Amino acid sequence: MRVRKIPLPLPNTGLMHRKRNTYYMRVVLCAALIVFILMQLNVFSFTDSREMSMLNEPTNDSIDAMLSMVPSVLHKFLTPKSRNQTAAAHMQQNSTTSGRYNSSSYTDYYHPPNISEIKQQIAKYNELQIVLNEDTYGPLQNDSVIIVVQVHTRITYLRHLIVSLAQAKDISKTLLIFSHDYYDDDINDLVQTIDFCKVIQIFYPYSIQTHPNEFPGVDPNDCPRDMKKDQAIARKCNNALYPDLYGHYREAKFTQTKHHWWWKANRVFDQLDVTRYHTGLVLFLEEDHYVAEDFLYLLEMMQSSTGSLCPQCDILSLGTYLKTFNYYTYNSKVEVMPWISSKHNMGFAFNRSTWSNIRKCAQHFCFYDDYNWDWSLHYVSQQCLQKKLHAMIVKGPRVFHIGECGVHHKKKNCESNQVIAKVQQVLRIARKSKQLFPRSLSLTAASLVKKTKLRKGNGGWGDRRDHQLCMNMTKSINES
């Protein structure tokens, strides 16, 4: 006989109800998460596309547009005012008060110094070592950054570099050293109007300007660059026995840059009274560079992070030669790799410890047949140092190259403001989107560097006189 089973209701424990609630909550949370991610992606896309569209807008490189991006108090650094213009204004003012005006007299009011006078001025500057604004900002501290700017003749670019430096956070704590290989009163006047930090000028004393008809300038008896060695020997011209590795003889305009870089490094680290015992960072810039307002802030952050991010790093690099900059992704990213002269030679810093190791390799630097100081330094790293130079490099650059023309590159319009305006625009966008002054740094995987054989030098440095001059610069005051 089959027993009929009577279904009994189970006690209501709320389990099914809780399961349904949990299920609904998970669905809601998943939906909210998806919506949040989509919103973030949309914001990123919008921000990125907006920045890209702003960057791709036609750049207004007019003087008025560029001045509008600079605080009015700094316009004085961008306003050209030559000695002759000053003299003309002075003469015109005198004529107004006296009632007499000679239209030809003011042109003779200012006479550029001759070579003898220039040599005297250079010797005076280098001997006195006057630090401007020291009474305002106090003596140099050991943890202060020293900024060394190598200057030639391009005053237009120098003006914009000075304006960018003036806007940098903590610039008042630095010592700004201008190292000149050309004596120019207009450039000197510009440098001496700087009032936002301590300033000192040093002058390379073996320039082409001060030695136009003798070594290290162009001696009348120098061998022409493309003369064959047997012809040079027959002619008995200077250094006939020692052309460079490509069979060419020296060109003074190219050799000067390497000499100047080596001289200023020795001068700053070992000879200047104000810097010879300084153990902090020395940052190397050039007249056609432009800095972001947080470059010192980031440099200090990189220095304090070397222990955790890169204990083996000797050099901190703030510049890049990239044409586009993705600050949204890389504003706080750094990478580490062996120092490469062609990539990391702009806006880089090192301290006295690194310099001491480099200085011990003076012969490798001074005898290497390459007229480029950065390639010579790369050779030192590869062939002389016990440990090759390693660099920490910012992915979002804080030092930019604005020069359209230089020793190696000539264009029809060397005074173009287009690059300067573009850099100003990039930094304005980065500032508005709060991509400057990161709170921390993070290390990103460096792109793989192919192991390549050390390439031959670029030549231009076969002259024995250049070798000897370079080595003589390595002697400090106490050794000479």
DSSP state of 314: -
152 annotated as a binding-site residue = yes
312 annotated as a binding-site residue = no
288 annotated as a binding-site residue = yes
Distance of alpha carbon 437 from its chain centroid, rounded? 19
User: Are 126 and 203 a contacting pair, CB within 8 Å?
Assistant: yes
257 annotated as a binding-site residue = yes
Distance between CA atoms of residues 454 and 369, nearest Å: 13
289 annotated as a binding-site residue = no
Residues contacting residue 312 through CB under 8 Å, at least 6 positions apart: 336, 387, 390
Q: What share of the chain is helix, strand, coil (3-state, %, to 5)?
A: 45, 10, 45
151 annotated as a binding-site residue = yes
Quickly list DSSP for 384-450: T-SS--EEEEESS-SEEE--S--SS---S-TT--HHHHHHHHHHHHHHHTT-SS-S--EE-PPPPPP
User: Are 352 and 275 a contacting pair, CB within 8 Å?
Assistant: no
279 annotated as a binding-site residue = no
User: Are 284 and 347 a contacting pair, CB within 8 Å?
Assistant: yes
181 annotated as a binding-site residue = yes
174 annotated as a binding-site residue = no
17 annotated as a binding-site residue = no
b/e code 4-17 from CB counts within 10 Å (16+ = b): eeeeeeeeeeeeee
- The dihedral over CA atoms of 150, 155, 161, 166, expressed in degrees to the nearest 10, equals 110
User: Are 255 and 466 a contacting pair, CB within 8 Å?
Assistant: yes
467 annotated as a binding-site residue = no
Annotated binding site for Mn(2+): 288, 401
Annotated binding site for substrate: 150-154, 181, 256-260
Annotated binding site: 150-154, 181, 256-260, 288, 401
